[in-house]
Structure 1
Amino acid sequence: MFRGSAVPTVTVDDVAADAYILDVREDDEWAAGHAPDATHLPMMQIPARIDEIPTDRDVVVVCRVGGRSAQVVAYLQQQGLDRTINLDGGMSDWAAAGRPMVSEDGGAPRVA
């Protein structure tokens, strides 16, 4: 699916169980709640750490509602990482769909 500025998107229901999920939110958002197997790489660190992002499989990029992650997907695609996909609705839709979440701060997992 393509939306807006031709950034590929996927809905929560279409994220594969074994997907590589790249969470680009800030540290406090990550600590509040995230997908169990997600990798945390804050948006502003992407340019310096781009080599850490796999190129041999699909990468689902997620933020709170999908805006920041769409920007990251656009950037990564410009850098040649064409297997990056934005999670439409972000962690808000993830939580609303009842998908598993964990927290790092000792509280119940939540979208902050």
Structure 2
Amino acid sequence: MQQPTVILDAKGLACPMPIVKTKKQMNELLPGDVLEVQATDKGSAADLAAWSKSAGHEFLGTKVEGQVLHHLIRKGGVQEEEPMISEISLNAFQQKVKEDQSLFILDVRELDEYEAGHIPGAVHIPLGEVEHRAEELTRESDIYLICHSGRRSELAAQKLKEKGFQQLINVVPGMNSWTGAIEK
């Protein structure tokens, strides 16, 4: 694998912190520099790959050593402005869920997170699979995207927007603050 310019320690951190720290560190690098992000969060591989692509960087891959994932990202050039994704507060979303059982909810967390508890009726497609499974989704109605904190669902919404989906609403924060009914 390529030699990193800088190594970032994100071990022990859960979503969205590896991305938050990576984004901050990337701001200090020059285009072409390589950042190694060391993480223990299993979902960080899909998260960082998706974030890298959406931010104009190149995700070079992941090497696993024991419990530590070593992700390599090459900083890209000047980034274009990202298209805005609509957001809804978790409180407003919870009220909508209580009032309307026909909402289309897309949960983009990893399988173990989804199985630990999800909103009844939510469709599960992990962030790393959204791009390839987009055609399973409807373009005719609003899609409410949710994850643990709101960051992965924002990345998923960006991927869907690139595929022509328009009615996308990111729920912020996500399941980490959900107080409504859940299924396991």
**TM-score per shorter chain, which class?**
0.7 to 0.9
Quick check: 1:8 aligned with 2:86? yes
Q: Work out the CA distance in 1 between the residues paired with 2:135 and 2:118.
A: 22
Aligned 8 A contact 2:106 2:122 in 1: yes
Structure 1 segment 79-94 matched on structure 2, within 5 A:
79-94=163-178
Correspondence for 2:157: 73
Deviation (angstroms), 1:92: 1.2
Q: Post-superposition shift, 1:12? A: 2.0
How many residue pairs match? The answer is 97
Q: Could you list the runs of 5+ residues in structure 2 that have no partner in the other structure?
A: 1-81
Tell me whether 1:101 sits opposite 2:182 in the alignment.
yes
Q: How does 1:10-89 map to 2 (within 5 A)?
A: 10-15=88-93, 16-17=96-97, 18-89=102-173
Q: Percent identity?
A: 30
RMSD: 1.5
Q: Which has the higher contact order (CA 8 A, sep 6+)?
A: 1
- Does the CA-based 8 Å contact 2:108-2:153 persist in structure 1? yes
Tell me the SS of whatever aligns to 1:68.
Answer: helix
- The aligned residue for residue 109 of structure 1 is none
**Distance in structure 1 (CA, Å) of the matches to 2:161 and 2:131:** 12
Tell me the distance in 2 between the aligned counterparts of 1:75 and 1:49.
11
Q: Secondary structure at the match of 1:87?
A: strand
- How far residue 78 of structure 1 moved from its aligned partner, in angstroms, is 1.8
Compare 70-79 and 32-41 and name the one that shifted more: 70-79
TM-score, with normalisation over the residues of structure 2? 0.50
Task: Identify the structure with the greater strand proportion.
Answer: 2
**Secondary structure in 1 matching 2:175:** helix
Which residue is 2:16 aligned to? Answer: none
TM-score by length of 1: 0.80
State the Cα deviation string for residues 43-68 of structure 1 (Å, max 9, x = none).
Answer: 11111111011111100011100010
The corresponding residue for 2:12 is none
SS of residue matched to 2:130: helix
Q: Unpaired segments of 5 or more residues in structure 1?
A: 104-112
Shift of 1:80: 1.0
